[in-house]
Structure 1
Amino acid sequence: MTASPSRPSSAVGLIYAMAAYLSWGFITLYFAALKAVPPILVLAHRIVWSVVFLTVLLIVFKQGPDFRRAVRNGRLRWAMLGSTVMIAINWYTFIWAVTNRQTVEASFGYFINPLVNVLLGVIVLKERLRLMQWIAIGFAVAGVAVMGWYRGGLPTVSLILASSFGLYGLIRKTASVGPLVGLSIETAILCPIAIGFVAVSTFDGRPMFHWGPLVGVLLMLGGIVTALPLIWFAAAARRLRLATMGFLQYTAPTCQLLIAVLVLGEAFTIWHGRSFGLIWIGLAIYSVDAALAFGRWRSDNAAADKAAAVTASAGSTPTPTGNDAEPVAVPECQA
């Protein structure tokens, strides 16, 4: 059976997890401060400065050899190309949403993302769902329908964010590459295009400090803003149970929603309340089901370990114990 993490390790893991998820929540304020800059140019600077910062991290953490091995792997390169397209769509959509006062709808997309992940598992991986999971997805569909009825059309921003991030997570799940190396490859693929956008903007008379020194500095911080939460997330995932990480993932969209309404002054109508309410009910059902599945997994592993111990004490060869992985997937980081 997997050993329970020690209390000091769990406490440190919780700090790392909250740092990561709060960073992804409060990144809304970062992009709001850059609203004067065209979203595509914000994305370009984020990619360029991420490459700079991630290169430093690859050297510091001595992951350069891992990066080179991953780049030489032809099959992995195709997978990373797919994840690169998805994360680029996701990043641009979120930046556009914040700068166009659509942060409430963006947070809605990240709330439904866990349930989209479950649905993708059924469609792509042919996974079978439990009854409670189907009920949770039903509430999510109802929430999207209510939001669509209120808006007079589908909540495009929410669906793009949820589906692009879901597909990104699905691809990264099947690609055997670490978070730091993976993000380094993705930003490296996008870097030539990003440099092109930055160069064109500079030649058009809009260099990095065109919008003021503060905006210029914020653009340069794009790499740190992107990479640090990823490192904290990876550190937390090594120290915390998967079920704990799954519960904490709702911190980021909750922060985004609160900032959108309380700080940025976006509207939160009764229709928003109804659609979010349906989503939250679905997430509650999903979380309870995940907790019950985790409890069954621990119980089965405990029984298997006990049987193995009895067999070993009798002088026989121990049998394999339980499953190798918990039934609750670690959520992909909101990179």
Structure 2
Amino acid sequence: MRNGLLNAICAYIIWGLLPLYWKWFETVPAGEILSHRIVWSFVFVAGLITLQKRWKELKLVLKDRGTLLPLIASSILITVNWLVFIWAVNNGHVVETSLGYYLTPLINVALAIVFLREKPTGGQWLAIVLAGAGVVLITVDYGSFPWVSISLALSFGLYGLVKKRVKIDASLGLMTETAIVVPVALVFWSYLGVSHASTVWSLPVGSLALLLLSGVATALPLLLFAKAAKSLTLSLLGFVQYIGPTLTLILSVTVFKETVSHVMLISFALIWSALIVYAMASIRAARQLAAQ
């Protein structure tokens, strides 16, 4: 559990700082960035599989329908998540992405209760109520339906659920997910080339080299997340996730100069209070279980 928690913290720190990375390519359409993100993620993970000499294991995964079908679903979910996130960052909606990932833990808790039969303790229920109140305040203060936030929360919450239920090694799972969608990305590359609409290849050499590293920036936190999902409850995994949107919120204000109201600050205080309450309740529950 300790290793899982460390993996989750590292993954969410990387995700929280990713807007800095994607903002570098704000002149490139979101769909084109997404296609490169998919292709270079595939290349990076394929390199890992080669180093680990696990291609035979991968073939067995592709032949196992019970594993392959959920991974098809997870690949679609994470692709949707990537596209919405990139579009939002490059179009000045970084605060909405932060809200989306604040919503995700609540989605995770709901999914855990419904599908995994996890039973929160009294203290954990209190944390859920506090976090829910904070998210409702943010949504009301925002003044319009936050479709970016809802899309990000639902897609990543469901992705986490699928990853929790599929019994497969992290690198093999990610390799399968990227392999499923990489043909679509390559077809899109071909379309851009034929229609002379590609913008990436005209970027400065430094920016182009940075984009080629998008595979590492994408795959590394996903691998850490997949490992964390195997050893942590979905509810705890969700609450650790508050690290990511908090970093994103800080970036939105200090770097991207987006405004945050007093109501939103109160909401964030509620959410962080919920995180502390949830952590304390989880530690207490773990100690009681160990004492039995």
Q: TM-score interval w.r.t. the shorter chain?
A: 0.7 to 0.9
Instruction: Pick one of 246, 256, 274 that aligns with 2:266.
Output: 274
Instruction: Pick one of 118, 122, 126 that aligns with 1:131.
Output: 122
Give the equivalent residue in structure 2 for 1:175.
166
- Cα–Cα, structure 1 residues 129 and 108, in superposed 2: closer, same or farther, change >3 Å? same
Give the equivalent residue in structure 2 for 1:225.
217
CA distance in 2, matches of 1:125, 1:231: 22
1:259 aligns with 2:251: yes
What secondary structure does 2:207 align onto? helix
- Cα–Cα, structure 1 residues 196 and 59, in superposed 2: closer, same or farther, change >3 Å? same
CA distance in 2, matches of 1:58, 1:203: 32
Corresponding letter in the other structure for 1:212: P
- Cα–Cα, structure 1 residues 288 and 112, in superposed 2: closer, same or farther, change >3 Å? farther
Query: Deviations along 1:279-311, whole A, 9 cap, x unmatched?
Result: 2222222222212112222222xxxxxxxxxxx
Give the equivalent residue in structure 2 for 1:117.
108
- Cα–Cα, structure 1 residues 275 and 241, in superposed 2: closer, same or farther, change >3 Å? closer
Instruction: Pick one of 178, 182, 192 that aligns with 2:183.
Output: 192
Instruction: Pick one of 257, 270, 284 that aligns with 1:292.
Output: 284
CA distance in 2, matches of 1:140, 1:245: 15
- Cα–Cα, structure 1 residues 286 and 248, in superposed 2: closer, same or farther, change >3 Å? closer
CA distance in 2, matches of 1:142, 1:150: 12
Corresponding letter in the other structure for 2:139: G
Give the equivalent residue in structure 1 for 2:47.
56
Give the equivalent residue in structure 1 for 2:26.
35
Query: Deviations along 1:4-49, whole A, 9 cap, x unmatched?
Result: x8xxxx7xx95x7665443222211110101111111111110011
CA distance in 2, matches of 1:138, 1:178: 34
Give the equivalent residue in structure 1 for 2:192.
201
CA distance in 2, matches of 1:160, 1:234: 21
- Equivalent positions of 1:84-123 (< 5 A) are 84-123=75-114
Point out the structure with max Rg over C-alpha.
Answer: 1
Corresponding letter in the other structure for 1:195: L
> Is residue 70–residue 162 contact of structure 2 (8 Å, CA) maintained in 1?
yes
Bigger mean CA offset, 56-65 vs 245-254: 245-254
Supply the RMSD in Å over aligned alpha carbons. Answer: 2.9
TM-score normalized with structure 1 length: 0.77
Corresponding letter in the other structure for 2:243: T
Give the equivalent residue in structure 1 for 2:202.
210
- Cα–Cα, structure 1 residues 102 and 152, in superposed 2: closer, same or farther, change >3 Å? same
Distance apart, 1:237 and its partner CA: 8.6
What secondary structure does 2:249 align onto? helix
- Cα–Cα, structure 1 residues 22 and 295, in superposed 2: closer, same or farther, change >3 Å? same
Corresponding letter in the other structure for 1:283: L
What secondary structure does 2:245 align onto? helix
Bigger mean CA offset, 264-273 vs 40-49: 264-273
Higher relative contact order (CA 8 A, sep 6+): 2
Structure 2 gaps of 5+ residues are none
Structure 1 gaps of 5+ residues are 301-335
> Is residue 37–residue 211 contact of structure 1 (8 Å, CA) maintained in 2?
no
Bigger mean CA offset, 118-127 vs 176-185: 118-127
- Cα–Cα, structure 1 residues 237 and 164, in superposed 2: closer, same or farther, change >3 Å? closer
TM-score normalized with structure 2 length: 0.87
1:68 aligns with 2:59: yes
Bigger mean CA offset, 122-131 vs 50-59: 122-131
Bigger mean CA offset, 137-146 vs 83-92: 137-146
What secondary structure does 1:209 align onto? helix
Distance apart, 1:232 and its partner CA: 5.2
CA distance in 2, matches of 1:124, 1:154: 27
Distance apart, 1:241 and its partner CA: 8.7
Query: Deviations along 1:117-174, whole A, 9 cap, x unmatched?
Result: 1111122234333233333222233223222222223332222222211111111111
> Is residue 39–residue 96 contact of structure 1 (8 Å, CA) maintained in 2?
yes
- Cα–Cα, structure 1 residues 157 and 285, in superposed 2: closer, same or farther, change >3 Å? farther
Distance apart, 1:82 and its partner CA: 1.2
Give the equivalent residue in structure 2 for 1:147.
138
